């Protein structure tokens, strides 16, 4: 195989060498979880760069991870394969990083892309690769097989349940995509399919089924665009005391310490209650279920672990959006406003 990843500006070592020297920097772990992470990141990259709308992921009996798709922009994917030869360019590295991680941390890999009667094939072995183009036909637009490198990962036994958990979240946040997972690696065959056209609102449906005896006393689903960001906010209140459930996402990342988006939503609720009832809010979160997401180009994180979303413009936009949507929803029914405010005085832990 003739091609290797070229030198970069990272201390005179190639991109592939950097990945192999510091695998945990790119996958977060050299356990089986790291294999799940690099697979997830590669799929997310294809969703955004190659507009993939359907994908099948299989853990094969021989330890191979197979990814196939018949709903993908093959021109973008072929361009990405071509960029591998220019891996020394920092701008190029951003476009191929998720693919390079898989190739760098796999013992072997094979990628076949079908387009217009031709098959573009990449073969990778021990950090070297070659790309060929031949006439032919494939039933899928993309067929990709890779075998994680047992010399890098402490274990190549991928936890199927963890993989399902990761891609369930991915499907909630990317409602246009259908993700199918199958497990032929372990003794008992398993298969899961994730497709949620309602996105995080479907997630709210499931949480309410798990937690609520009856219909919630209040529910509001909001979807708005503002200054280049897409906001999805789902708010529910149960009629009885229960542990609160609050979940937030920025892009495809869960913001465990929450931050700007959740703070903005709470401020919007409090502002609404004060303006329409003159009442203060001082409570314990009991009965509140809140699921939010914001998508856009770039996010800023703060806190000691850099996992808390810190963007004032997102906080302000979320506050204004929630305030307006609550106003529109409640303006025709003062009694409904009173009931809502009363419930929130026992649900929001925010002044």
Residues 126, 40, single domain; the answer is yes
Cα–chain center distance at 298: 14
CA distance from start to end of the chain: 64
Please count the CA atoms within 13 angstroms of the CA of 196 that sit on its side-chain side.
19
Say how far apart CA 104 and CA 86 lie, in whole Å. Answer: 15
Count of residues in the chain = 351
Domain presence at residue 351: no
List CB contacts of 183: < 8 A, sequence separation 6 or more.
58, 59, 160, 189, 190, 191
Q: Where does a domain end: 194, 227, 259?
A: 194
Residues 235, 208, single domain; the answer is yes
Residue 234 structural domain: 200-344
Residues 173, 261, single domain; the answer is no
Tens digit of pLDDT at every position of the chain (351 positions): 555 554 444 445 678 888 999 999 999 999 999 999 999 999 999 999 999 999 999 999 999 999 999 999 999 999 999 888 776 666 678 889 999 999 999 999 999 999 999 999 999 998 788 999 999 999 999 999 999 999 999 999 999 999 999 999 999 999 999 999 999 999 999 999 999 999 999 999 999 998 877 777 789 999 999 999 999 999 998 877 778 899 999 999 998 888 999 999 999 998 988 888 776 665 455 688 999 999 998 899 987 777 889 999 999 999 999 999 999 988 877 777 777 777 676 555 443
Q: Which of 38, 129, 346, 304 is nearest to 217 (CA)?
A: 346
Residues 148, 206, single domain; the answer is no
Residues 220, 324, single domain; the answer is yes
Say how far apart CA 337 and CA 351 lie, in whole Å. Answer: 19
Say how far apart CA 184 and CA 189 lie, in whole Å. Answer: 5
Residues 220, 184, single domain; the answer is no
Domain presence at residue 349: no
Q: Residue 107, by phi and psi: left (phi above 0), alpha (psi -120 to 50) or beta?
A: alpha
Residues 70, 149, single domain; the answer is yes
Residues 146, 283, single domain; the answer is no
- What's the number of domains the chain is made of? 2
Domain presence at residue 181: yes
């Amino acid at each position: 195989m003739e091609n290797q990843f070229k030198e970069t500006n990272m201390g005179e070592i190639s991109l592939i060498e950097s990945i192999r020297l510091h695998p945990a920097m790119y996958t977060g772990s050299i356990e089986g979880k790291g294999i799940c992470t690099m697979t997830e990141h590669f799929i997310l990259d294809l969703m955004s760069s190659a507009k993939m709308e359907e994908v099948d992921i299989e853990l094969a009996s021989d330890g191979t991870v197979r990814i196939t798709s018949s709903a993908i922009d093959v021109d973008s994917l072929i361009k990405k394969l071509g960029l591998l030869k220019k891996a020394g360019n920092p701008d190029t590295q951003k476009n191929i990083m998720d693919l390079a991680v898989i190739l760098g941390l796999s013992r072997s890999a094979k990628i076949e892309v079908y387009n217009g009667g031709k098959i573009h094939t990449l073969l990778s072995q021990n950090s070297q690769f070659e790309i060929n183009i031949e006439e032919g036909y494939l039933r899928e637009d993309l067929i990709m097989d890779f075998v994680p490198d047992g010399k890098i990962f402490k274990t190549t036994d991928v936890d199927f349940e963890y993989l399902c958990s990761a891609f369930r979240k991915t499907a909630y946040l990317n409602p246009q995509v259908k993700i199918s997972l199958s497990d032929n690696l372990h003794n008992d065959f398993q298969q899961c399919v994730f497709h949620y056209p309602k996105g995080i609102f479907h997630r709210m449906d499931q949480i309410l089924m798990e937690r609520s005896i009856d219909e919630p006393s209040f529910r509001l689903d909001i979807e708005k665009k503002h200054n280049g960001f897409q906001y999805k906010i789902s708010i529910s209140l149960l009629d009885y005391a229960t542990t609160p459930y609050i979940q937030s996402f920025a892009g495809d990342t869960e913001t465990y310490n929450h931050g700007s988006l959740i703070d903005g939503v709470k401020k919007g609720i409090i502002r609404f209650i004060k303006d329409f009832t003159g009442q203060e809010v001082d409570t314990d979160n009991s009965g509140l279920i809140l699921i939010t997401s914001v998508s856009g180009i770039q996010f800023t994180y703060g806190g000691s672990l850099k996992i808390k979303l810190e963007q004032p413009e997102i906080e302000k936009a979320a506050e204004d959006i929630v305030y307006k949507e609550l106003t529109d929803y409640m303006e025709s029914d003062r009694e409904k406003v009173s009931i809502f405010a009363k419930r929130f005085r026992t649900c929001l832990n925010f002044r």
